[in-house]
A and B are shown apart, each in its own frame.
Chain A
Amino acid sequence: MLTRRVLLAGSAGVLSAPAILRPALAATPKNAVVMVKQIDDIISFDPAESYEFSNNEMDANCYRRLVRPDPNKSGELSGDLAEKWTVSDDGLTFTFKLRDDAHFETGKPVTAEDVAFSFQRVVLLNKTPGFILTQFGFTKDNVQDMIRALDDHTVQIKIGQVRATSFVLYCLSANVGSVVEKATVMSHATNGDLGNGWLKTHTAGAGAYKLTSWQASDSMIADANPHSGMKVGVRRIVVKHVAEPATQLLMLQKGDADIARDLTADQLKSLMTNKDYSIASAGQATSMYIAMNQAIPELAKPEVHQAIKWAIDYEAIAKNITPGTWSVDQYFLPKGLPGALTDVPFKKDVAKAKELLAKAGLPNGFSITMDYISAAPASDIAQAVQADLAAIGIKVSLQPGEQKQVITKTRARQHQLAMLVWGSDYFDPNSNAQAFCENPDDSDSSKLKILAWRSHFQNAELTAMSQAAAKELDSKKRIAMYEEMQRKFREEAPFAMLLQKNATAVSRKDVKGFVVGALPDYTKYDAITKG
Chain B
Amino acid sequence: MTASRVRQTLASVASVPLTLFGLILVTFLIGRAMPIDPVIAIAGDHAPPDVIARVRTELGLDKPLPVQFAIYMGQLLHGNLGNSVMTSHPVTEDIARFFPATLELATVAIIIAILIGVPLGVVAAWRQGSRFDHVVRVVSLAGQSVPVFVLGLVCLLVFYAKLGIAPGTGQIDVAYEGMVPPITGMLVLDAALEGDWDSFWNAGSHLVLPSLVLAYFSMAYITRMTRAFMIESLAGEYIVTARAKGLSATRILWRHAFGNIAVRLVTVLALAYAGLLEGAVITETVFSWPGIGLYLTGSLLNADMNAVLGATLVIGLVYLVLNLLADLAYRLLDPRVR
Which residues does A use to contact B, with CB under 8 Å? 1-2, 4, 7, 10-11, 14-15, 17-19, 21-26, 28-29, 32, 34, 40, 42-44, 51-52, 126-131, 197, 200-201, 213, 215-219, 221, 238, 240-244, 246-247, 250-251, 253-254, 256, 401-405, 407-409, 411, 425, 446-450
**B306, chain A: closest CB distance, angstroms:** 13
**A265, chain B: closest CB distance, angstroms:** 18
- Would you give the 0/1 interface string for B87-125, flagging 1 where the beta carbon is closer than 8 Å to chain A? 111000010010000000000000010011001101100
Contact present for A250 and B250 (CB under 8 Å): no
Smallest Cβ-Cβ distance to A201: which chain B residue: B88
Contact present for A1 and B174 (CB under 8 Å): no
B67 at the interface (CB under 8 A from A): no
Within 8 A of A (CB), among B173-224: 173-175, 177-178, 201-202, 204-206, 208-209, 212
Given the known inter-chain contacts A23-B167, A242-B288, please indicate yes or no for A217 contacting B123, CB distance below 8 A: no
Chain B contacts of A446 at CB under 8 A?
49
Pick from A19, A43, A404: contact of B40, CB under 8 Å: A404
B159 at the interface (CB under 8 A from A): yes
**A258, chain B: closest CB distance, angstroms:** 10
Which residues does B use to contact A, with CB under 8 Å? 34-37, 40-51, 54, 84-89, 94, 97, 112, 115-116, 119-120, 122-123, 132, 149, 153, 156-157, 159-161, 164-170, 173-175, 177-178, 201-202, 204-206, 208-209, 212, 249-250, 285-288, 290, 294-295, 298, 301-303
Smallest Cβ-Cβ distance to B153: which chain A residue: A246
Contact present for B174 and A238 (CB under 8 Å): yes
Rounded to whole angstroms, the CA-CA distance of A297 and B145 in the bound complex is 47
Contact present for B174 and A14 (CB under 8 Å): no
Chain B contacts of A217 at CB under 8 A?
86-87, 290, 294-295, 298
Contact present for A18 and B35 (CB under 8 Å): no
- Count chain A CB atoms within 10 A of each CB in B42, B167, B178 and give the residue with the most: B167
Contact present for A23 and B165 (CB under 8 Å): yes
Contact present for B290 and A215 (CB under 8 Å): yes
Contact present for B177 and A243 (CB under 8 Å): no
Chain B contacts of A402 at CB under 8 A?
36, 301
Contact present for A403 and B301 (CB under 8 Å): yes
Contact present for B301 and A254 (CB under 8 Å): no
Given the known inter-chain contacts A28-B174, A256-B168, please indicate yes or no for A18 contacting B209, CB distance below 8 A: yes
Given the known inter-chain contacts A21-B205, A244-B153, A251-B169, please indicate yes or no for A408 contacting B40, CB distance below 8 A: yes
Contact present for A254 and B290 (CB under 8 Å): no
Rounded to whole angstroms, the CA-CA distance of A417 and B320 in the bound complex is 45
Contact present for B302 and A404 (CB under 8 Å): yes
Contact present for B36 and A408 (CB under 8 Å): yes
Chain A contacts of B54 at CB under 8 A?
126
Additional A-B contact list (13), CB under 8 Å, known A29-B174, A242-B169, A404-B37: A18-B208, A42-B86, A43-B86, A43-B88, A44-B88, A128-B43, A131-B51, A213-B178, A216-B87, A217-B87, A219-B177, A247-B156, A247-B168
Contact present for A21 and B204 (CB under 8 Å): yes
Chain B contacts of A241 at CB under 8 A?
288
**B253, chain A: closest CB distance, angstroms:** 8
**B251, chain A: closest CB distance, angstroms:** 10
Smallest Cβ-Cβ distance to A27: which chain B residue: B175
**B107, chain A: closest CB distance, angstroms:** 15
Contact present for B119 and A7 (CB under 8 Å): yes
Chain B contacts of A32 at CB under 8 A?
174
Smallest Cβ-Cβ distance to A410: which chain B residue: B45
Rounded to whole angstroms, the CA-CA distance of A256 and B103 in the bound complex is 26
Rounded to whole angstroms, the CA-CA distance of A219 and B294 in the bound complex is 14
Given the known inter-chain contacts A254-B161, A404-B303, please indicate yes or no for A22 contacting B201, CB distance below 8 A: yes
20 A–B contacts from the bound complex (CB under 8 Å): A2-B123, A17-B208, A23-B167, A24-B202, A24-B205, A51-B46, A126-B54, A128-B44, A219-B177, A241-B288, A244-B149, A244-B288, A254-B164, A254-B168, A404-B36, A404-B40, A404-B302, A404-B303, A405-B34, A407-B45
Smallest Cβ-Cβ distance to A404: which chain B residue: B36
Rounded to whole angstroms, the CA-CA distance of A21 and B120 in the bound complex is 25
Contact present for B168 and A43 (CB under 8 Å): no
Rounded to whole angstroms, the CA-CA distance of A404 and B42 in the bound complex is 10
Chain A contacts of B206 at CB under 8 A?
24
- Count chain A CB atoms within 10 A of each CB in B46, B85, B123, B287 and give the residue with the most: B46
Rounded to whole angstroms, the CA-CA distance of A28 and B174 in the bound complex is 7
Rounded to whole angstroms, the CA-CA distance of A442 and B291 in the bound complex is 45
Chain A contacts of B167 at CB under 8 A?
23-24, 256
Contact present for B86 and A40 (CB under 8 Å): yes
Contact present for A25 and B173 (CB under 8 Å): yes
